[in-house]
A and B are shown apart, each in its own frame.
Chain A
Amino acid sequence: MAEPLLSVRALAKRFGGVLATDGVSLDLAPGELHALIGPNGAGKTTLLAQLAGSLEPDAGSIVFEGRDIAALAQHRRVAAGIARSYQITSLFARLSVRDNLALAVQARSGSSFVFWRPRSAEAALFEEARSIASKIGLAGREDVRADALSHGEQRALEVGLALATRPRLLLLDEPMAGLGPEETARMIGLIERVRGGTTVLLVEHDMDAVFRLAARISVLVNGRVLASGSPEAIRGNSDVKRAYLGEELAARTTSDPP
Chain B
Amino acid sequence: MMREPNVKAWLGPLLAAVFAIALPLALRAFGQVFYVSFASQVLIYALAATSLNLVLGYGGMVSFGHAAFVGAGAYVASLLLHAGVDSAWIAWPAAMAVAAAIALATGAISLRTRGVYFIMITLAFAQMLFYLANSIKAWGGDEGLTLARRPALGFGVDLADELSFYYVALAILAAALYALHRLAGSRFGHAVVAMRENETRAEGVGLPVFRTRLACFVIGGAVGGLAGALLACHGKYVSPNVLHWTQSGTLMIMVILGGVGRLWGGVLGAVALLGLERFLADFRIGWLAALVPNYAQHTSLAVGVVLLAAVLFAPRGLAGWRRARDG
Q: Which residues of A contact B (CB under 8 A)?
A: 52, 54, 74-75, 78-79, 83-84, 86, 90-96, 98-99, 102-104, 106-108, 110-120, 126, 143, 161-162, 164-165
Q: Is the CB of A86 within 8 A of B204?
A: yes
Nearest 10 A/B pairs, CB to CB: A78-B206, A107-B206, A112-B191, A104-B205, A114-B187, A118-B185, A90-B201, A107-B207, A92-B197, A75-B208
In the complex, which of the residues B183, B187, B204 contacts A78, with contact meaning CB atoms closer than 8 Å?
B204
Knowing A84-B204, A94-B197, A116-B182 are in contact, say whether A75-B209 is a contact too (CB < 8 A): yes
Knowing A92-B201, A94-B197, A161-B201 are in contact, say whether A116-B206 is a contact too (CB < 8 A): no
**What 1/0 mask marks residues of chain B from 176 to 206 whose CB sits below 8 Å from any chain A CB?**
0000001101111111001001101111111
A94–B196 Cα distance when bound, in Å, is: 11
Q: Is the CB of B185 within 8 A of A112?
A: no
A74–B209 Cα distance when bound, in Å, is: 10
Q: Which residues of B contact A (CB under 8 A)?
A: 1-3, 182-183, 185-191, 194, 197-198, 200-209, 212, 215, 321
A202–B217 Cα distance when bound, in Å, is: 38
In the complex, which of the residues A93, A113, A117 contacts B215, with contact meaning CB atoms closer than 8 Å?
A113
Tell me which of B187, B190, B198 has the highest count of chain A C-beta atoms within 10 A of its own C-beta. Answer: B187
27 chain-A/chain-B pairs, Cβ below 8 angstroms: A52-B204, A54-B200, A75-B206, A86-B200, A90-B198, A90-B200, A93-B198, A95-B197, A98-B1, A99-B190, A102-B190, A103-B207, A104-B206, A112-B212, A113-B187, A113-B188, A114-B186, A115-B186, A115-B188, A117-B187, A118-B182, A118-B186, A120-B2, A120-B3, A120-B185, A161-B201, A162-B204
A119–B3 Cα distance when bound, in Å, is: 11
**Which residues of chain B have C-beta atoms less than 8 A from A92's C-beta?**
194, 197-198, 201
Q: How many A-B residue pairs have CB under 8 A?
A: 108
Knowing A83-B206, A86-B204 are in contact, say whether A106-B187 is a contact too (CB < 8 A): yes
Q: How near does chain A come to B179, taking the closest CB pair, in angstroms?
A: 8
Q: Is the CB of B207 within 8 A of A75?
A: yes
Q: Is the CB of A91 within 8 A of B198?
A: yes
A102–B198 Cα distance when bound, in Å, is: 15
A98–B190 Cα distance when bound, in Å, is: 13
Knowing A112-B207, A112-B208 are in contact, say whether A103-B186 is a contact too (CB < 8 A): no
Q: Is the CB of B201 within 8 A of A119?
A: no
Knowing A92-B198, A115-B183 are in contact, say whether A74-B204 is a contact too (CB < 8 A): yes
In the complex, which of the residues B190, B203, B212 contacts A119, with contact meaning CB atoms closer than 8 Å?
B190
Beta-carbon nearest neighbor of A108 in chain B:
B206
Knowing A78-B205, A118-B182 are in contact, say whether A111-B187 is a contact too (CB < 8 A): yes
Q: How near does chain B come to A23, taking the closest CB pair, in angstroms?
A: 26
Beta-carbon nearest neighbor of A105 in chain B:
B205
A154–B198 Cα distance when bound, in Å, is: 15
**Which residues of chain B have C-beta atoms less than 8 A from A78's C-beta?**
204-206
In the complex, which of the residues A79, A103, A118 contacts B202, with contact meaning CB atoms closer than 8 Å?
A103
**Which residues of chain B have C-beta atoms less than 8 A from A115's C-beta?**
182-183, 186, 188-189
A194–B206 Cα distance when bound, in Å, is: 20
A95–B189 Cα distance when bound, in Å, is: 14
Beta-carbon nearest neighbor of B201 in chain A:
A90
Beta-carbon nearest neighbor of A96 in chain B:
B1
Q: How near does chain B come to A238, taking the closest CB pair, in angstroms?
A: 38
A72–B2 Cα distance when bound, in Å, is: 36
Beta-carbon nearest neighbor of B200 in chain A:
A90
A106–B208 Cα distance when bound, in Å, is: 11
Beta-carbon nearest neighbor of A102 in chain B:
B190
